[in-house]
Amino acid sequence: MNGQTILVTGGAGYIGSHACVELLEAGFNVVVIDNLANSKIESLNRVRQITGQAVTFYQGDIRDKQVLTELFSKHEISTVIHFAGLKAVGESCEQPLNYYHNNVYGTLVLLEAMREANVKQLVFSSSATVYGESDSAQYSEHFPLGPINPYGRSKAMIEDILRDLSAADSITKSASPWKIALLRYFNPIGAHESGLIGEDPNGIPNNLMPYVSQVAIGKLAQLSVFGDDYPTRDGTGIRDYIHVVDLVKGHIKAIAALAGEGFRHGGCKAYNLGAGRGCSVLEIINAFEKVTDRKVPYQIAPRRAGDLAECYANPELALKELQWQAEKTLDDMVADAWRWQSKNPAGYA
């Protein structure tokens, strides 16, 4: 496996930069394409600082077929890990065309370039947000899909496209079938233990962990806890937080699985990447205060539209078929998020 070259789309971003570190440390060569729409090139300088190795970087857009064609002709890519896309739920409601163009059309262009280069192994960043309403708070891969916003629908559409692409192989009896892993992330948080790379959101964060970090460091005055009247153990929302380093290790396991017996005849399969247990907003605040020895001032605010009371993964399939499970604790996630935040109060700027 070592010596293979992996194309990482969106590799300068939060999860992508952590994936670059794990891939380089596992002996892969890494080529990144990123248009830096939501990231800074400094993240890749830091990747080099951590690993002592460089990635090959293309500043470009995945919707630019010419750049992709050139890239595939120059490098012998074995697998693509596809992170590039826009990810803010609220923004997707305001700019649906931008989201569908970037995420869905961008993926179509990438898939065409892959097909032309005969590169047919793909690990795709999907999301727990593709799931629909359910009686159970613990989500398994076979649960019905039903996203409720344009961002989530863009992910579900891409999943459909990828399933169709794989299904076509059995009709055409393709000799080199597509091998595709759809990884449905729950809530990635934390940072590399070096504190050199981490999440660097633009403007005021939407997500809980970066918001809490910025309150703790004094950039923001206080956290709003969106609802304390949910039917959960303390009334606040419960999510399955997963350390970003555990998450990216799941991608390396997925690459190995795509090359293995389970995908010998091709296929497209979804896997939950989550810890399999939920934490409430108040539990996150308490863990943060304990680990950092700082207060996180908060107020109870109304529920946020579109939020579920509780959502966590059934991660058994990833354990069984990818031999992957989350290993890091909530305290690890909080300590690493805080190390990144306190060493880089202005992010990569």
Q: Which residues make up the interface to ligand NAD (CB under 6 A)?
A: 10, 12-16, 33-39, 61-63, 83-87, 102, 106, 125, 127, 185, 188
Give the full edge-to-edge strand order of the sheet including 5-9.
56-59, 29-34, 5-9, 77-82, 121-127, 179-185, 267-273
Helix axes 281-292, 330-343, angle to 10 degrees: 60
Q: What is the DSSP string of 290-328?
A: HHH-----EEEEPPPTT--SEEEE--HHHHHHH------
Q: Which of 23, 9, 253 is nearest to 114 (CA)?
A: 9
How far is it, in rounded angstroms, from Cα 12 to Cα 30? Answer: 12
Nearer to ligand UFG, 149 or 325 (CB): 149
DSSP 131: B
274's contact among ligand UFG, ligand NAD, none, with CB below 5 to 8 A by partner kind, is none
Q: Which does 304 bind (CB under 5 to 8 A by kind): ligand NAD, ligand UFG, none?
A: ligand UFG
| Closest approach of ligand UFG to the CB of residue 111, in Å | 22
The residues binding ligand UFG (CB under 6 A) are 87, 89, 127-129, 185-187, 206-208, 211, 223-226, 237, 239, 281, 304, 307
The helix/strand count (H/E) of the chain reads as: 12, 15
Least Å distance, CB 211 to ligand UFG, is: 4
192 contact, one of ligand NAD, ligand UFG, none, CB 5-8 Å limit per kind:
none
Whether residue 151 contacts residue 92, with contact meaning beta carbons closer than 8 Å, is answered with yes
Length of the chain: 349
Nearer to ligand NAD, 28 or 185 (CB): 185
| CB of 128 vs ligand UFG, minimal distance in Å | 4
Residue number, nearest CB to ligand NAD: 13
Type of residue numbered 319: L
186/288 with CB nearer ligand UFG:
186
131 binds, among ligand UFG, ligand NAD, none (CB under 5 to 8 A by kind): none
The answer to whether residue 151 is catalytic is yes
Report which of 132, 183, 127 is spatially closest to residue 151, judged by C-alpha positions: 127
Shortest approach of ligand UFG to residue 241 CB, angstroms? 8
Distance CA 340, CA 217 (A): 11
CB of 113 to ligand NAD, least distance (A): 12
Q: Which is nearer to ligand UFG, 233 or 265 (CB)?
A: 233
Tell me the residue nearest to ligand UFG as measured from the CB. Answer: 237
Q: Are 12 and 39 in contact (CB under 8 A)?
A: yes
Q: Give whichever of 24 and 191 is closer to ligand NAD, judged by the CB atom.
A: 191
CA distance 72 to 239: 38
C-alpha span between 255 and 7 (Å, rounded)? 12
From the list ligand NAD, ligand UFG, none, partner contacted by residue 10 (C-beta under 5 to 8 A by kind): ligand NAD
Which one of 14, 99, 151, 312 is the catalytic residue? Answer: 151
Q: Give which of ligand UFG, ligand NAD, none residue 125 binds (C-beta under 5 to 8 Å, depending on kind).
A: ligand NAD
Rounded to the nearest whole angstrom, what is the least distance from the CB of residue 213 to ligand NAD in the complex? 14
Active-site positions?
Answer: 151
